[in-house]
A and B are shown apart, each in its own frame.
Chain A
Amino acid sequence: MTAETGIGARVKRKEDQRFLTGTGRYVDDLPLARATYAYFLRSPHAHAKIKSIDTGAAKAMPGVVEIFTGKDTADAKVGGLICGWVVKGKDGQPHKAPPHPVMALDTVRYVGDTVAMVVANSADEARDAAEAIKVDYEVKPANVDLAKAFDKGTPEVHAEAPGNLIYDWEIGVKADVDAAFAKAAHVTKLDLVNNRLIPNAMEPRAAAAEYDKGTGNYTLWSTSQNPHVLRLILSAFVLGIPEHKLRVIAPDVGGGFGSKIFCYNEETMVTWAASRVGRPIKWTAERAESFMTDAHGRDHVTHAELALDKDGKFLGLKVDTIANMGAYLSTFSTAVPTYLYATLLAGQYTTPVIHANVRAALTHTAPVDAYRGAGRPEATFVIESIVSKAAAELKMDPAELRRKNFIPADAFPYQTPVALQYDSGNYPPIIDEAMKMADYKGFESRRAEAKSRGKLRGIGFSSYIEACGLGPSRVIGQLGGGVGQWESAQIKFNPTGNVQILTGAHSHGQSHETTFAQLVSDKLGVPIENVEVVHGDTATTPFGMGSYGSRSLAVGGSAIMKAADKVIAKGKKIAAHLMEADVADVVFEQGTFKVAGTDKNVPLGAAVFAAYVPHNYPLEELEPGMDENAFYDPSNFVYPAGTQICEVEVDPETGVVEVVNHTAVDDFGNIINPMIVEGQVHGGIVQGVGQALMENAVYDKETGQLVSGSYMDYTMPRADDVPSFKLGNKVTPCPHNPLGVKGCGEAGAIAAPAAVMNAVHDALAPLGVTHVPMPATPQTVWQAIHGGK
């Protein structure tokens, strides 16, 4: 279409009109006649046996409709929640899969574990009644400290997982890595903790369900990133409601960051209970519940070693990681520290041999699963921390050491030693551009100037790679994933010339309504205001896999392009008929079919109209209508890459770290809407800065109480915590999808923590400080300074 709204244009977000004027429709906004309200009673103990639950007094409270406990769901044979990715350990056995009941049966395993569900006429009455439920607990010792999860004598979370071990998994050939280390001129060693994070989407999780007794149909409105997958799990594994009798709608959703991918017990329970109470049930998490029960992110303890030759070439990398799973295995938890983490450990480098050992541990804490970046931020943090540390030890420039080891541009497609084959990339120009934008040359004078003000200034690099655009279904299946990873699209071209794009992807902040509309507007020559994106409803959209892993554009957008190709192909036949020309001679340009070398033309809209009013139409060879479906299964992941450079100033008196400059240069392949991409990068960097400097989910190591369970104790980054970012981009188009696009949704959060922490370490290096744990809060930094002096 026109340059103002086509591919590459900074089109303002269509969805912002309603979001900014308060007319978005979220689950909690749903007006449901005769609705009841659910409240979930949570365990205040990290580990306890439930001796008894007395709901007698609570049932007699005003407004109470029904109260359910684990026993009710067990009696009704409600299935447990599932983990959908089977990871096989070194022993060839699938991971341990302890049961995950929708409500605790006889044992609670983390603070927040669900004990009872109260359904009442109002949310307040439900909460008041929950207050009157008497639960007799026998409190038991809790296993909270991840580093000690496997120690003898640590309490076991599930009998099905002896020693709290879910799997002991490896990738790479250990003997080869050992041989490489034997030849090393230098070995850099590093111990890291990747701090646990709480997702904090702006809209808390919510669910509402309705059962239609007449038809036997259920409708669930949920804050889901992937309504079809949620329906599939609920139907096939948990509730047994046939898929065609269960409609899942994910309306406007206010952020997810991964935490809304998973199938949770609350949405399961409201659906199940809606038929029992015969009235709709609504539930919206309180912020405190979100802190306690949304699947948390990260939480690794890692030891890594990098072997280098005398010139600084990487010879081998070994990594040993313990990953926290929490008390139950969430939907995709097992894949995050294995296939989304260890497979990325080559980074942007030619490290010839890599071995990673990952052990997944159960603890008496909330489940841990994918969170923006999911495994890739953890991998990037390990690689980019150890590379910068090696540079410091060898007294080499950190950029120079990186450049020396980058995969050269002519080596693509590049097979890493950890399974992935990078399709495309060109890393040296990215770091060059980032260094130019960050004025790396001028840094030392800025450092000196800061010193004159009593501040310690440091600079840090992070050159990340990620594999996203999940993913080739065949590969996902080989790795143990339980679902396909294609995406679907349907283009409904209406008789009056406007277009609906039905996508299996789901937008909860990603701007699909704009980006996807741009694609179709550009491709079919339809004004963007005449293109509507429909998503998030299993009854109206084709089966889709939803949005996570930066896949919506690379996979979902590609499906849309395929469907658009079908529209054009069909339109071409209609136009050929109308122009009495041979199809082979018809071309499609800017929304119009033309016969080459003539002035004959038929606008696409006219061809579509003919398809719906087929008075002059080749009915013997073409079906009427213009409604095209496509499914797209990618042949590889996409591999965005980039370099971030962070500059910080540390106040040695207070330990306060200020991010004073932050530059990011990315290769996202072709870009559809630069403004939206920049927004994604901004948000990602801020989340990464949050992890590096502020955010930390803390459980009391003895009692398992979540002590950072509110905004008083869990610090989120704000606009004034970050500078204005400098962004740049370099393009190597993805060679295997029709748009040449990669993913941009997670990159910022993947790269930023290492960039910030490397800058902090660089700032403190003159004081002899070699390790600052993440997050580098003022207290932590101050202790590092004063312990290191």
Chain B
Amino acid sequence: MDIKGEYRIAAPREKVFAALNDAEVLKACIPGCESLEKLSDTEMTAKVRLRIGPVSAAFSGKVTLSDIDPPNGYKISGEGQGGVAGFAKGGASVRLTDDAGTTVLAYDVDAQVGGKIAQVGARLIQGTARKLADQFFGKFAESVGAPPLAAAAEPA
């Protein structure tokens, strides 16, 4: 599964990139995030409550930043254990480009689930991941920039 999208953010690239590395911003934007603690510049622990189809579970796990290339982008990955519900993992490659004083944020998300979530909700993962990506980047664009000029997540 692969979900792609783009957001235009009314802020310069450096500011956007800094926000992408700010645990407080991430915490506010990750849907269902109950806690996010920074362990290092590239590692965080997180607790996220998610609902996929009929399964609702709290996932505890790690968030890792990699391929860091300021201010052009990075990769953010998460992997969480949801106890008896199974696990979820996924990541997003984020690319930032300048466009007339604003920043175009392009993302490419992949996600995988296992255990009971996959068993009862496999068909729903695509839709759920898209919704979560929209929520995250939409909120991110909103909190970092001025109100978004054009917000549109488009399928690849």
Contacts and interface: CB of A to CB of B under 8 A. Distances in A.
Nearest to B115: A44
A60 to B, nearest CB: 15
B84 A42 contact: yes
A111 interface: yes
Given A44-B114, A111-B114, A703-B112, A291 B119 contact: yes
Contacts of B33: none
Nearest to A707: B122
Interface stretch (A132-140, A167-175, A568-576, A664-672): A132-140
Contact of A42 (B113, B115, B122): B115
A85 to B, nearest CB: 30
B116 interface: yes
A59 interface: no
A41 B81 CA distance: 13
Interface in B92-147: 112-116, 118-120, 122-123
Interface stretch (A263-271, A444-452, A708-716): A708-716
Given A44-B86, A703-B112, A712-B123, A134 B118 contact: no
A712 B124 CA distance: 11
A109 to B, nearest CB: 14
Interface size band for B? 10 to 19
Nearest to A286: B116
A45 interface: yes
B17 interface: no
B83 interface: yes
A113 B116 CA distance: 12
Contacts of B123: 707, 712-713
A200 B2 CA distance: 34
A127 B84 contact: yes
Contact of A705 (B81, B83, B84, B114): B114
A596 B23 CA distance: 102
B74 interface: no
Contacts of A292: 119
B87 interface: yes
A706 B123 CA distance: 12
A42 B83 CA distance: 9
Scoring A45, A130, A709 by chain B CB atoms within 10 A of each residue's CB, the highest score goes to A709
Query: Range of interface residues on chain A?
Result: 20 to 34
A706 B84 contact: no
Nearest to A131: B83
Interface in A1-57: 39, 41-45
A127 B114 CA distance: 18
A49 to B, nearest CB: 15
A772 B113 CA distance: 31
Contacts of B119: 111, 288, 291-292, 705-707, 709-710
B118 to A, nearest CB: 4
B81 A706 contact: no
A359 to B, nearest CB: 29
A133 B83 contact: yes
A43 B83 CA distance: 10
Contacts of A393: none
A691 B115 CA distance: 25
A529 interface: no
Contacts of A709: 116, 118-120, 122
Nearest to B114: A44
Interface in A100-140: 111, 127, 130-135
Nearest to B122: A707
B113 A130 contact: no
A712 B120 contact: yes
A359 B37 CA distance: 52
Contacts of A710: 119-120
A703 B114 contact: yes
A573 B41 CA distance: 96
A212 interface: no
Interface in B69-92: 81, 83-84, 86-87
A130 B118 contact: no
A8 B122 CA distance: 50
Contact of B118 (A41, A43, A135, A707): A707
Contacts of A130: 83-84
A651 B23 CA distance: 56
A132 B83 CA distance: 7
Interface string A287-329: 0100110000000000000000000000000000000000000
Contacts of A42: 84, 115
A710 B83 CA distance: 19
A703 B90 CA distance: 14
Interface string A707-736: 101101100000000000000000000000
Contacts of B120: 288, 709-710, 712
B116 to A, nearest CB: 6
A120 to B, nearest CB: 13
A582 interface: no
Nearest to A133: B83
A701 to B, nearest CB: 13
B114 to A, nearest CB: 4
Contacts of A39: 84
A400 interface: no
A648 B118 CA distance: 34
Contacts of B114: 44-45, 111, 703, 705
Given A42-B115, A45-B114, A705-B119, A135 B81 contact: yes
A134 B122 contact: no
A637 B1 CA distance: 51
A42 B120 CA distance: 15
A160 interface: no
A397 interface: no
A111 B84 contact: no
A135 B80 CA distance: 12
A289 to B, nearest CB: 9
A130 B86 CA distance: 12
A713 B120 CA distance: 8
A41 B84 contact: yes
A700 interface: yes
Contacts of A43: 115
B118 A700 contact: yes
A630 to B, nearest CB: 47
A705 B118 contact: yes
A43 B84 CA distance: 9
B122 A44 contact: no
B112 to A, nearest CB: 7
B116 A288 contact: yes
Given A42-B84, A133-B83, A705 B113 contact: yes
A679 B83 CA distance: 43
A127 to B, nearest CB: 7
Nearest to A711: B120
Nearest to A44: B115
A376 to B, nearest CB: 30
A135 B120 CA distance: 22
Interface of A: 39, 41-45, 111, 127, 130-135, 288, 291-292, 700, 703, 705-707, 709-710, 712-713
6 contacts: A131-B84, A292-B119, A700-B118, A706-B118, A707-B119, A709-B118
Given A291-B119, A705-B115, 7 more contacts: A41-B84, A44-B86, A130-B83, A130-B84, A288-B116, A709-B122, A710-B119
Please name the 4 residue pairs, one residue from A and one from B, whose CB atoms are nearest each other, closest first.
Answer: A44-B115, A709-B119, A131-B83, A705-B118
